[in-house]
Amino acid sequence: MKKVFLTFVFALLSITVFAQTAWAVDPMHSSVNFTIKHMGISFVQGRFDSFEGRVITKGDGLDDATFEFMTNINSINTGVEMRDKHLKSPDFFDVEKYPQMRFESIAITKDKAKNTYILKGKLNIKDVIKEISVPVTFGGITKNQQGKEVLGFQTTFKVNRLDYNIKYDPTGAGVGKEVDVNLYFEMIKQ
């Protein structure tokens, strides 16, 4: 009887410890946005309209979570068709050769502030893969109008476009070198 009880307890602990939850991006409640300086005096805003991703969590927060995201670069949208066409060209993203941007996490650690984390991962733009660390604010988990569980988080960080072989105007006089990235994700439990 004692062996049966210990086996049951061990199995229950194993399930609890190794339980994972998969979450997929809800594109209707998520956005991938950027802002870049123009001519040193103003800013151009844009977004990517097509993206997907998933997060695997091991509890009620983001502790030990894994992240994977992909953005379809052909979906870039700055509100000006001529500019979007130029951004898709070899001067910038070269979508014919490199149709996607990808991010894959390496580690996530809880920061000192409540509900904030530091997410470390590999960002792949064009033919370059670089490690980056970004702050993540965890919004929490709740149920949506359909009764499905949803998880929310956001991050804001900078990327130097020259680090990823986006070399048009390398002086940064016309098109800034640094891009401000703002990501807002609502994920649906799978």
Summarised one tens digit per residue, pLDDT across range 15-69 is 444 589 999 999 999 999 999 999 999 999 999 999 999 999 998 889 999 999 9
Whole-angstrom distance, CA of residue 113 vs CA of residue 103: 24
On whether residue 104 sits in a domain, the answer given is yes
> Does a structural domain hold residue 5?
no
pLDDT tier at 114, thresholds 50, 70, 90: confident
Domain count, the chain: 1
Whose structure tokens read 């894959």? 104
Band (pLDDT 50/70/90 cuts) for residue 3 is: low
Q: Domain containing 134: what range?
A: 20-189
pLDDT digits (tens, 9 = 90+) for 65-110: 999 999 999 999 999 999 999 999 999 999 999 999 999 999 999 9
Does residue 7 belong to any structural domain of this protein? Answer: no
Specify if 13 maps to a domain.
no
Residue 114 DSSP code: T
Q: For 139, phi and psi rounded to 5 degrees?
A: -85, -25
Rounded to two decimals, what is the model's pTM?
0.87
* 136 domain-assigned: yes
CATH code of the domain in which 179 resides: 2.40.128.110
Question: Is residue 14 in some structural domain?
Answer: no
Residue 2 covered by a domain:
no
173 inside domain:
yes
Closest CA to 138 of 150, 125, 153: 153
